[in-house]
Amino acid sequence: MSVNNKKLNRSDVRTGIWRFVTSFSILSAVSFAAVYFFFKSYDNQRSGIEQEKKAYYELLEANNIIKIQMDSIYADMSLLGVNKVTNDMFLNQSIMRRIQETKKIIGKDSADNFKHYAVLFKKMDDMLLLKSQIITVGTEEQVILRNLQNCQTKDGQIIGELQKDPSRVFTGRRRFNR
């Protein structure tokens, strides 16, 4: 058995211990930092997912509100100009007010998410203009028909009065005797 019985120097032992402690503390710090950053990134991802989920639910809620508003606007527009309501102008103003409210719900930030509604609103303004023109023409037609009916009634009354006057000998039609 040959054993190297060389005594170690105290400074070499201290240096070895310090190297071991230093390397152990560095490895421990790196391991702790890796675990810390793992859990930190998990928390960040979880909070980001919660925010996205909240934004998604808000978007769904806004979509449901807009859909209800659009259905009621469509129902009112189907009544507009078909003589089912007594005041078309009031209905038209109500529709315009609902459109403005719906546009406020959509807002500028959500315009990207509701592109299909934005296109529909652009077309809806044209449809409302056309409907109001149809209502105007319909109203004018009713006024003309009423005037025609009044004229026919007055004509009938005048003819009736002329037939009753014996001095005129009016029989209702002119006859040309040649």
Domain boundaries, the chain: 20-164
pLDDT tens over the chain, length 178 residues: 444 546 668 888 889 999 999 999 999 999 999 999 999 999 999 999 999 999 889 888 888 888 888 888 888 878 876 767 777 778 878 888 888 888 787 776 666 777 777 777 777 777 777 877 877 887 888 899 999 999 989 888 888 777 775 665 555 565 555 4
The residue type of 93 is Q
Nearest CA among 149, 135, 137, 129 for reference residue 84:
135
Reading the block at residue 2, the tokens are: 């040959």
